[in-house]
Structure 1
Amino acid sequence: MSEQGADHLTAALRRLNEARRRARTELVTPPPPRPRDPLPPTGRAGRNLPAATGVGLGLLAVVALSLFTRREAFVFLVVVACFVGLWEVARAVAQRGIRIPLLPLWVGTVGILVSAWRAGAEAMLMAFTLTAGGVFLWRVLDGGGRGAVRDAAAAIFAAAYVPYLAGFALLMLRQPDGAWLVVTFIVVTIANDVGGYAAGVLFGKHPMAPSISPKKSWEGFAGSLLLSAALGALLVALLLGQAWWLGAGLGAAAVAAATTGDLAESLLKRDLGLKDMGSLLAGHGGIMDRLDSLLVSAPVCYVILAGATGQPVL
């Protein structure tokens, strides 16, 4: 072979080796992550206000009718709401590969809520414990491994978050003035949303938690406090015959709890890349988008109202 041919062959081998080296580098070096599209705001401003108002008033009418006709109807409404809420949670976390077993959760939900209504707080806690154990056993028998532990933990969290917290509303209902206690709890919690929305739209300038809920402001929080405390004072004085300042404290505590629940669900939704947990309620989103503040507020209102009316907490 001539010297020129040898040079050509050497150059060709060098280019081939360089190409192979680049190919190996591309295989082991991951591509740069694609920037995620910004999530839409999770605040309540910007929704279809007429639709949201109509749906909200309709729900309140159904709740009031059940409370003042047959209380068992309200228990049934809570069970149905928890069923739908758990379904929304299961569908949401499924986007991260988490599989929540709904059937044992639904069975446990009935047990938790009926125990709360019929036997009180201790029975409700026992039913939750049995539900947690049953859900874990169900998921492990369905297939072990890390996935089973992860899914069972998510299911136990869902049982604590939805039916167990909802059970505190039924603990209030079983008290002698139970219907009025539940009305007071619902009104002061909804006042958190209404007062916060109105004050936030009119005066909101300082975000409370911009990375979680961009449209929630400190001005809105102040509006929530004012409206909830005022309505709490009025309802506790007129309906329950207790001191007005106790109702004002109830309203302030409900706002703190409801805001925590609202921000917690907003954080969960942002982590999952969701704007709403569902689309069942026009102008609101899903059932969980309405229950988020009520669920966390329920145990706080139960403890305060039970103490105010001289009823045992447990």
Structure 2
Amino acid sequence: MSSTQSAPPRNHGRAGRDLPAAFASAFVLLAAVALGLAFEKTAFMLVVVAAVLVAVWELQRAFATRGIDLPEQPMMLGGAVMVLVAYFWGAPALVTATAVTCLAIMLWLLRRGIDGYVMNATAAVFSVIYVPFLGSFVALMLAEGGTTGGGLDDAGVKGILTFILVTVASDTGGYAAGVLFGKHPMAPVISPKKSWEGFAGSLVFTIVAGVLLVVHLLEGDWWVGVALGLIAVVMATLGDLCESVIKRDLGIKDMSQVIPGHGGLMDRLDSLLATIAPVWLLLHYAVF
């Protein structure tokens, strides 16, 4: 018998995660967000742009497993421009930049010829809407208090914190209730670990967080907090399920391994990307 033994596999528990690594990664990411917002929110836009670029890179690699070749260069350049124009010039500029980016991608793909054009162009436009376009609503939210400054007195910073915290509340509530009480799968073919009990936990956590944040941080009406919680829990759940469908269709477990304990950046952004647009719309017209 050999004197050396292989280390036993790490037990990730019912959640299927390496919890110490996951919590450490989450702490680092949240600390980076908090520091960016606390000092100069314009600098935080660099974090948003960087996240968009990494997410586009992950999608390019993921689609390549199925022979879909996304044009990475115009998608990255266009995605960065979309985020920045949304921050400095608002929603009309974002719509224009999105249209130009999609057209530029289709023109770029003409250089490759006819074979695979429709497949690659369709996947590329889908990816542009999924990541840079939705991600640009973070810029719209942050710009609510102007494009300079920072700190908790700024309306845009408060909006970003509210958006992030209600989404975290949805994920946390769903995780806790799912691990403790989960028995009835919500979508067993798509996401076997997601249960209706977990969804109920997400609902409770998110509505409570929404009311507390809107009333005490944004100084808005309680009913806006309830609406915020309902929107966030539904959209965060749909975002998670949609990304699970994408990964299963592509035959991959994680988008990448750039975040220890979590997988890829897109594996963490799925709920946030799905939540930000309706949350911005609600807060823009009901609070700011």
Q: Does the TM-score normalized on the shorter chain lie above 0.5?
A: yes
CA contact (8 A) 2:211 2:223 kept: yes
Aligned equivalent of 1:144: 113
- Specify the SS of the correspondent of 1:114: helix
Distance in 2 separating the partners of 1:116 and 1:134:
18
Aligned equivalent of 1:171: 140
The offset of 1:152, in angstroms, is 1.4
Aligned equivalent of 1:248: 226
User: Does 2:222 correspond to 1:238?
Assistant: no
- The one of 277, 280, 290 equivalent to 2:255 is 277
The offset of 1:44, in angstroms, is 8.4
Residues 191-232 of structure 1 deviation map (CA, whole Å, 9 limit, x = unaligned): 111110000000000000000000000000000011111111
Could you tell me which amino acid in structure 1 is paired with residue 104 of structure 2? G
Distance in 2 separating the partners of 1:109 and 1:137:
16
User: Does 2:279 correspond to 1:301?
Assistant: yes
Aligned equivalent of 1:92: 62
Equivalent positions of 1:27-66 (< 5 A) are: 45-66=15-36
User: Does 2:100 correspond to 1:130?
Assistant: yes
Aligned equivalent of 2:167: 189
Distance 1:84-1:306 versus aligned 2 partners, 3 A rule: same
Distance in 2 separating the partners of 1:73 and 1:218:
40
User: Does 2:257 correspond to 1:288?
Assistant: no
The offset of 1:50, in angstroms, is 1.4
Distance in 1 separating the partners of 2:170 and 2:280:
17
Aligned equivalent of 1:119: 89
CA contact (8 A) 2:14 2:179 kept: no
CA contact (8 A) 2:82 2:98 kept: yes
Distance in 2 separating the partners of 1:189 and 1:44:
21
Distance in 1 separating the partners of 2:170 and 2:93:
31
Residues 82-139 of structure 1 deviation map (CA, whole Å, 9 limit, x = unaligned): 1110111110110111000100111101110011000000100100000000001001
Distance in 1 separating the partners of 2:283 and 2:207:
14
Distance in 1 separating the partners of 2:30 and 2:223:
26
User: Does 2:178 correspond to 1:208?
Assistant: no
Distance 1:240-1:44 versus aligned 2 partners, 3 A rule: farther
Distance in 2 separating the partners of 1:168 and 1:44:
34
The offset of 1:182, in angstroms, is 0.5
Is the radius of gyration larger for structure 1 or structure 2? 1
Aligned equivalent of 1:265: 243
Instruction: List alignment gaps of at least 5 residues for structure 1.
Output: 1-42
* Count of equivalent residues: 267
Q: What TM-score does the superposition give when structure 2 sets the normalisation length?
A: 0.91
CA RMSD, aligned part only?
1.2
Q: Could you list the runs of 4 or more consecutive aligned residues of structure 1 that deviate by over 6 angstroms after TM superposition?
A: none
Q: What TM-score does the superposition give when structure 1 sets the normalisation length?
A: 0.83
CA contact (8 A) 2:52 2:80 kept: no
Distance in 2 separating the partners of 1:75 and 1:178:
12
User: Does 2:79 correspond to 1:101?
Assistant: no
Aligned equivalent of 2:49: 79
Distance in 2 separating the partners of 1:146 and 1:191:
46
User: Does 2:132 correspond to 1:154?
Assistant: no
Could you tell me which amino acid in structure 2 is paired with residue 262 of structure 1? D
CA contact (8 A) 1:86 1:158 kept: yes
CA contact (8 A) 2:53 2:80 kept: no
Distance in 1 separating the partners of 2:263 and 2:156:
29
The offset of 1:245, in angstroms, is 2.4
